[in-house]
């Protein structure tokens, strides 16, 4: 064991020497050699620490491809080693994701591996981290995708406000929040949906003080959340009937509402289509 630790120490020293001499290809290869030694010896923590720190070092040295390669090894080994999706590991994944260039061909692969690792437990937390990263990059489509699936209701609302003010038309101020809230409800997160709606309507500069609101769909959402909170199918049914014309602005709304009726009011689920409610 001592001899093995001594060999690992020598490789680490060689890696540092290569980094100091800007011999990044050689450093990258040595990181991988040591990783395979650690993993074959079931030294999972050491393997994860090595690939994470190595990826950071290579990113800091502007070695994008090498940094991404170690980042992929790190996130893949999280699952293979059954690493716990705790706050430390989630933060590490988020940090590496933020350092991968937006247009890098392997970035989406990294996201996919990370989400597969957490799919049984902490996916909402990781979606939140990815959503914040994409928001900072002004990639609103990806930010919206992930924040809707997170537990960050206020962040989702703030991102949607910025998204609408930056890219939307004034007459779409209600559309940006309606679909998001309906999708969050379809994920059974009624408290997150309420938080997102309240934040959006109270902070958006183009939404008048309410409730009630001038925009019919905002009133619909307000009362929909009340109906869900009360567990009132009768209120839900009347709302859908009274606001049917406004709901026709987007054909997907009725699919979302059918799903919501099933989740919160035990109404028979709709027939499945080939695309699913999220398209």
What's the whole-number mean pLDDT along residues 65-88?
Answer: 96
pLDDT reported for residue 270: 63
| Whole-number Å distance between alpha carbons of 67 and 170 | 42
Q: Of 202, 205, 161, which Cα lies nearest the Cα of 180?
A: 161
Mean of pLDDT values over 58-84: 97
Q: Is the pLDDT of residue 274 over 50?
A: no
Task: Give me the mean pLDDT over the 161-168 stretch.
Answer: 97
Report which listed range, 109-123, 169-183, 263-277, is most confident. 169-183
Place of tokens 């009937």: 241
Overall average pLDDT of the 231-244 stretch:
97
Cα 175 to Cα 118: distance, rounded to the nearest angstrom = 31
pLDDT mean over 89-100: 97
Query: Which residues belong to CATH 1.25.40.10 in the chain?
Result: 1-121, 123-278
pLDDT for the residue numbered 166: 97
Record: fold of 1-121:
1.25.40
The string of pLDDT tens digits covering residues 28-70 is: 999 999 999 999 999 999 999 999 999 999 999 999 999 999 9
What confidence tier does 4 reach under pLDDT thresholds 50, 70, 90? low
Q: What is the pLDDT of residue 275?
A: 41
Q: How far is CA 125 from the centre of its chain?
A: 7
pLDDT at 1: 52
SS (HEC) of the chain? CHHHHHHHHHHHHHHHHHHHCCCHHHHHHHHHHHHHHHHHCCCHHHHHHHHHHHHHHHHHCCCHHHHHHHHHHHHHHHHHCCCCCCHHHHHHHHHHHHHCCCCCCCHHHHHHHHHHHHCCCCHHHHHHHHHHHHHHCCCHHHHHHHHHCCCCHHHHHHHHHHHHHHHCCHHHCCHHHHHHHHHHHHCCCHHHHHHHHHHHHHHCCCCCCCCCCCCHHHHHHHHHHHHHHHCCHHHHHHHHHHCHHHHCCCCHHHHHHHHHHHHHHCCCCCCCCCCCCCC
Confidence band of 279 (pLDDT split at 50, 70, 90): very low
102-111 pLDDT tens trace: 999 999 999 9
Residue 117 near residue 75, CB atoms below 8 Å = yes
123-278 classified as CATH 1.25.40.10: yes
Tens-digit pLDDT profile for residues 132-148: 999 999 999 999 999 99
% pLDDT > 70, the chain = 94
**Residue 83: both structure tokens together:** 């690493």
The yes-or-no verdict on residue 276 having pLDDT over 70 is: no
pLDDT at residue 112 greater than cutoff 90: yes
| Residue 62: partners with Cβ closer than 8 Å, 6 or more residues away | none
Is the model's pLDDT at 26 over the cut of 70? yes
Q: Give tens-digit pLDDT for 200-217.
A: 999 999 999 889 999 999
Peptide bond just before 194 cis, omega within 30 deg: no
What's residue 272's pLDDT?
A: 60
d(CA 21, CA 14): 11
Least confident range of 31-40, 43-52, 178-187, 261-270: 261-270
Torsion sign across C-alpha atoms 241, 243, 244, 247:
negative
């Amino acid at each position: 064991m001592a001899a093995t630790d001594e060999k690992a120490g020598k490789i680490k020293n060689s890696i540092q020497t290569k980094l100091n001499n800007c011999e990044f290809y050689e450093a990258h290869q040595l990181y991988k050699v040591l990783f395979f030694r650690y993993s074959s010896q079931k030294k999972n923590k050491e393997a994860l620490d090595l690939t994470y720190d190595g990826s950071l070092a290579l990113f800091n040295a502007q070695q994008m491809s090498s940094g991404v390669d170690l980042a992929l090894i790190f996130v893949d080994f999280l699952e293979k080693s059954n690493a716990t999706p705790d706050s430390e590991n989630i933060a590490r994944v988020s940090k590496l994701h933020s350092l991968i260039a937006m247009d890098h061909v392997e970035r989406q692969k990294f996201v996919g591996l990370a989400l597969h690792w957490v799919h049984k437990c902490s996916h909402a937390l990781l979606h939140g981290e990815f959503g914040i990263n994409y928001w900072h990059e002004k990639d609103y489509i990806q930010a919206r995708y992930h924040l809707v699936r997170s537990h960050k209701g206020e962040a989702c609302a703030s991102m949607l406000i910025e998204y609408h003010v930056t890219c939307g038309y004034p007459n779409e101020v209600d559309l940006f929040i309606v679909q998001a809230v309906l999708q969050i409800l379809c994920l059974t997160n009624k408290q997150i949906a309420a938080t997102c709606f309240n934040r959006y309507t109270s902070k958006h500069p183009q939404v008048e003080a309410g409730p009630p609101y001038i925009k019919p769909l905002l009133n619909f959402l307000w009362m929909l959340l009340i109906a869900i909170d009360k567990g009132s199918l009768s209120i839900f049914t009347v709302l859908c009937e009274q606001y049917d014309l406004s709901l026709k602005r987007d054909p997907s709304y009725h699919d979302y509402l059918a799903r919501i009726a099933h989740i919160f009011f035990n109404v028979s689920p709709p027939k499945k289509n080939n695309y699913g409610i999220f398209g």
